[in-house]
A and B are shown apart, each in its own frame.
Chain A
Amino acid sequence: MQSNYELIIGPRKGWQPLDFREVFLQRELLGFLVWRDIKIRYRQTLLGGAWALIQPLMAMFVFTFFLHRLAGVKGDPQVPYAVFAFAGLSAWTFFANSLSQSSNSLLASQQMVKKVYFPRIFIPLGTVGAMLLDLFLSLGLLAILMLYYHVHVTTHALLLPVFILGTLLSAAGLGMTLSALNVSFRDVKYVVPFVIQMGIFVTPVIYPLRIVPQKYTLLMGLNPMAGMVIGFRYALLGSPASWRVMGVSLVTSVVLFVSGLYIFRRMERRFADVI
Chain B
Amino acid sequence: MNKGKLIVFEGVSGTGKETQAKLLQEYLQSKHITSVIVYHPTPELKEILSMWRKDRHIDAITEVYLLLADRYDRVRKIINPAIAKGQWVISLRNALSAQVYQGTTLKMRRWIRKEFSLFEPVPDKLFYFSITPENALKRIMKRHEETGEAIGKFENPKDLEKKQLTYKNVLRDIFHVSIDAALAIPTIHEKIISSLF
Chain A complexes with chain B: no
Which residues from chain B sit less than 8 Å from chain A, CB to CB? none
